[in-house]
Amino acid sequence: MRLVNTVLKSLLITFVILIVLFALVIGVYPRMLKAGADKLVLAPLNLTSLADGTYRGSARVLHVAASLSVVVQDHRITDVSYVGKPSGAEVPKLAAEVVTAQSLSVDAVSGATISTKVTLKAIDNALGARP
């Protein structure tokens, strides 16, 4: 009986610790993710100074990451594509909007705000690099 009480007490303590950790993760991690995304700063695009070529860039905020290839031809973005699978939501519609707008000032994809910001920052990073 004493052994059963000890085991039950240990299980209860473990269960309480897990509940507390779960609550911390659920309560803190989303705020950390949003704060990280809010720190991303996009530079205005200056396509007139870019040579034709394929530029690669990546960005990450905690678990959300994107690596992209951006093709520039005649001082215009002609294609944006993912290099590998992004860790977060893939937002292909966003790439098309950037190509159409020739700008990073596009609307965020509903339900994928962090992935949108990370993808835009990856494009920004690519165009700040050399081909």
Q: What is the mean pLDDT of residues 36-50?
A: 89
What class is the 47-127 domain? Answer: alpha beta
123 neighbors 102 (Cβ within 8 angstroms) = no
Report strand pairing: 76-82 vs 64-73.
Answer: antiparallel
Computed over every residue of the chain, the mean pLDDT equals 89
Per residue in 92-129, pLDDT (tens digit) is 788 899 999 999 999 888 888 899 999 999 999 999 86
Please state, in angstroms and as integers, the Cα–Cα distance from residue 102 to each residue in 28, 77, 85, 117, 118, following that order.
Answer: 36, 6, 24, 16, 18
Give pLDDT, residue 130: 55
